[in-house]
Structure 1
């Protein structure tokens, strides 16, 4: 088996992690709009920034994803 290619279960796990981080990103962005506490807004912005970085890192694995046998 090739080492530069993700297995099917690794591709699926990567997809699930990207979905989770996307949900985290959207939730934090939406909650910032209704939050009045500046400290909490700053914490949510930090989560947004970290989620964006995680998504960018995870999407790099899609180039190695296996989609067919």
Structure 2
């Protein structure tokens, strides 16, 4: 991977991070309010996947030593 992202690429990753954080907040909030067990499971899985995706996106911005 390239050592540094271009400005437009950094902004795109930041936009994706913002979107994923909003999705994570919604899924976690709705999971606490959901009555249906199957829906709670789906939302819990979405929270777990969202956390993984956010961590991966953060590496693009913070890990500039990888090549």
Give TM class, smaller chain. Answer: 0.7 to 0.9
User: How big is each residue's C-alpha offset from its partner over 1:16-54, in whole Å with a ceiling of 9 and x where there is no partner?
Assistant: 000011001000000011110000000000100000000
Q: TM-score, normalised by structure 2?
A: 0.88
Give the superposed CA RMSD. 1.3
Q: Which residue in the other structure is 2:31 paired with?
A: 32
Q: Which has the larger radius of gyration?
A: 1
Note the residue ranges of structure 2 that are not aligned, 5 or more in a row. none
- Runs of 4+ with deviation above 6 angstroms: none
- Offset of 1:62 from its aligned partner? 1.0
Alignment length (residue pairs): 63
With structure 1 as the length reference, what TM-score do the two structures score? 0.85
Point out where structure 1 has 5 or more consecutive residues left out of the alignment: none
Q: Distance in 2 between matches of 1:64 and 1:33?
A: 33
